[in-house]
């Protein structure tokens, strides 16, 4: 990961389901989350939910907080100003004026779709890709079907859960309409084909636009890539827990590449993906030392399956020749994507 930190894109919404939502994007660095969570703990903010993605040296995070004393959303303007000022101080880095931005987000948005939008707005797809240790990289092609005025997008990559969601979110936020799609999975590979047009009914019209679609879809697939060791934290929640855990990661040279923070009743259920400071696989001895400090029963190492594929949740599938899985947007998945505003009901 890049070791310098730029001034952030930063925003907030007043409340969301009884919580205050903080949006942060900027340059990733080791220990950044530790500092963010330490500030929130010091300002008496209780983190209830959070998701963190990193990609191409950038970081995007949605953090839902409440006042730890009252349990209410943080709506006092002076308290919000204090939070903004402290987080800006943590995230200002090398004062890159070009990327400095502050926004106020009032809309209720699907968290993961919002993360895509934040990274898309941050133009993570234009930055030099951070060298990945996996040889698997998405292959994206875009061609025009002149007879029908469609552009045909093909994506080939390793199969995983929410792959379809990630790709269609990005196409939608780029203002393309998906009219038809076919998804084929074979073994560990996924093959996605989309017939798209602009909102005005025209196909992709230039080579620069075609290249931009390719870059953006490569980024969409890569943002959720689970690099590093998966650590699962399950223990009684308390004020400052996240600050303490992520500080232990930082002190032992572990970088968080992705995180999912949640609480249920009084229990913290958190997932972290960690690498070493250079993005290489973490030393197992360091992982064990961290587990000793946090608690062996509290922090566990979970091996990742080779294929992320959950059947029956949001996709209606039929088995084709050779055991491949075929999916049509005319099934349950079409309704789910339609409800999220990701596709239009056209044929």
- DSSP states of 172-189 as a string? HHTTEEEEEEEEEEETTE
Render pLDDT for 7-28 as a digit per residue (tens, 0 to 9): 344 454 444 567 888 999 888 8
Quick check: 248 pLDDT over 60?
yes
Helices (H) and strands (E) in the chain, counts: 8, 15
pLDDT at 252: 97
Quick check: 235 pLDDT over 60?
yes
User: Considering only CA atoms, which of 14, 34, 7, 11 is closest in space to residue 22?
Assistant: 11
Enumerate the H helices of 122-258 as residue ranges.
Answer: 163-173, 207-222, 241-251
Render pLDDT for 290-346 as a digit per residue (tens, 0 to 9): 999 999 999 999 854 332 333 333 333 333 333 333 344 444 445 445 555 555 545
Which residues are bridge partners to 24 per DSSP? 10, 61
- Indicate the range of 46-50, 68-72, 199-203, 220-224 predicted with least confidence: 68-72
Pair of tokens at residue 245: 């855990």
Quick check: 1 pLDDT over 70?
no
| Domain locations in the chain as residue ranges | 9-127+228-302, 139-224+313-339
- Is 347 or 244 the better-scoring residue by pLDDT? 244
- Which CATH code is given to the segment(s) 9-127+228-302? 3.30.70.260
- Which CATH code is given to the segment(s) 139-224+313-339? 3.30.70
Quick check: 279 pLDDT over 90?
no
pLDDT at 333: 45
Render pLDDT for 131-148 as a digit per residue (tens, 0 to 9): 444 556 899 999 999 888
Integer-rounded Cα Rg, in Å, for the chain is 21
**Identical fold between 9-127+228-302 and 139-224+313-339:** yes
Q: Could you give the CA distance from residue 140 to residue 244 in angstroms, rounded to a whole number?
A: 41
133: Cα within 13 Å, side-chain hemisphere: 11
What is residue 30's DSSP assignment? T
pLDDT at 129: 59
Q: Could you give the CA distance from residue 28 to residue 57 in angstroms, rounded to a whole number?
A: 5
**Where residue 103 falls among pLDDT bands split at 50, 70, 90?**
very low
**Where residue 101 falls among pLDDT bands split at 50, 70, 90?**
very low
Q: What is the mean pLDDT of the chain?
A: 80
Q: Are 42 and 69 in contact (CB under 8 A)?
A: no
* Other Cβ atoms within 10 Å of 47 Cβ, number: 27
């Amino acid at each position: 990961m890049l070791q310098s930190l730029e001034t952030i894109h930063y925003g907030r919404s007043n409340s969301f389901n009884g919580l205050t939502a903080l949006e942060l994007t900027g340059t990733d660095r080791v220990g950044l989350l530790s500092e963010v969570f330490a500030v929130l703990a010091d300002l008496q903010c209780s983190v209830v939910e959070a998701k963190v993605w990193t990609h191409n040296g950038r970081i995007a995070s949605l953090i839902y907080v409440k006042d730890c004393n009252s349990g209410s959303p943080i709506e006092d303007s002076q308290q919000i100003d204090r939070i903004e000022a402290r987080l800006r101080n943590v995230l200002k880095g090398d004062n890159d004026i070009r990327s400095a931005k502050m926004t106020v987000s009032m809309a209720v948005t699907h968290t993961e779709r919002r993360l895509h939008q934040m990274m898309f707005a941050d133009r993570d797809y234009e930055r030099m890709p951070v060298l990945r240790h996996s040889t698997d990289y998405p292959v994206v092609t875009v061609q025009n079907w002149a007879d029908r005025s469609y552009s045909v997008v093909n994506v080939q990559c390793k199969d995983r859960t929410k792959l379809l969601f990630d790709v269609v979110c990005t196409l939608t936020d780029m203002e393309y309409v998906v009219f038809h799609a076919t998804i084929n999975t074979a073994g560990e590979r996924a093959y996605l084909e989309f017939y798209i047009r602009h909102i005005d009914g025209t196909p992709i019209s230039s080579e620069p636009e075609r290249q931009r679609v390719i870059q953006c879809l490569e980024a969409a697939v890569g943002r959720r890539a689970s690099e590093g060791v998966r650590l699962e934290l399950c223990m009684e929640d308390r004020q400052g827990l996240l600050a303490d855990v992520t500080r232990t990661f930082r002190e032992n040279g572990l970088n968080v590449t992705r995180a999912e923070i949640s609480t249920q009743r009084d229990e913290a259920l958190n997932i972290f993906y960690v690498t070493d400071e250079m993005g290489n696989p973490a030393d197992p001895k360091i992982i064990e030392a961290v587990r000793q400090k946090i608690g062996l029963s509290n922090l566990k190492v979970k091996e990742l399956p080779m294929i992320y594929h959950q059947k029956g949740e949001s996709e209606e599938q039929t088995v084709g020749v050779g055991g491949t899985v075929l999916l049509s947007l005319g099934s349950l998945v079409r309704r789910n994507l339609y409800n999220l505003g990701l596709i239009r009901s056209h044929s």
